[in-house]
Structure 1
Amino acid sequence: MTDPADRDGLPAGVVQAEPWNGIGNEFTGVRFRKVFTRNGERLQIDVPRSGSSILLDPMALEVVADQKPEFFTHLIATRLGAVED
């Protein structure tokens, strides 16, 4: 599961990780993998271009999955500065 060359790159608290997968388009690319912590499984999402990374547990993923697409459209527009505060 864990690539020995990637072992040192594991986030704090992660004891094992599956190989990276990824998706992308003309605007961005992300990679993701399932990781294992002492407190259970998480989904690690990483954006190499910006250096952003997050670990999401099943409860957080349930909340994300429950959102309507318009919620994400608003988040993207806000991040790009298309929405005034």
Structure 2
Amino acid sequence: MSAIVADELNAFHQFLSDKLKTAMTRSSPEQVLEEWRALHPDPDDVEAIRESLAAMHAGDRGLSLEDFDREFRQKNGLTSQS
């Protein structure tokens, strides 16, 4: 196990321990995991968002909804009524 994974598991363990100690949560395991993920986003997701924001600030307007819709439907073999 890499040191990074071990560190992340230890941090998650501490997060769970803190949740249990306070006993102020009636959250399900899935809800607690969702909270953990919200507080600790995936670094690749964060980087993708940063790149998109930088492109937007540099003038990249992306695709219009109409262009996206047309390309998506063509790519997936959908008609305009689907």
Say whether the fold is shared (TM-score over 0.5): no
Decide which structure has the larger Cα Rg and report it. Answer: 2
TM-score of the aligned structures, taking structure 2 as reference length? 0.30
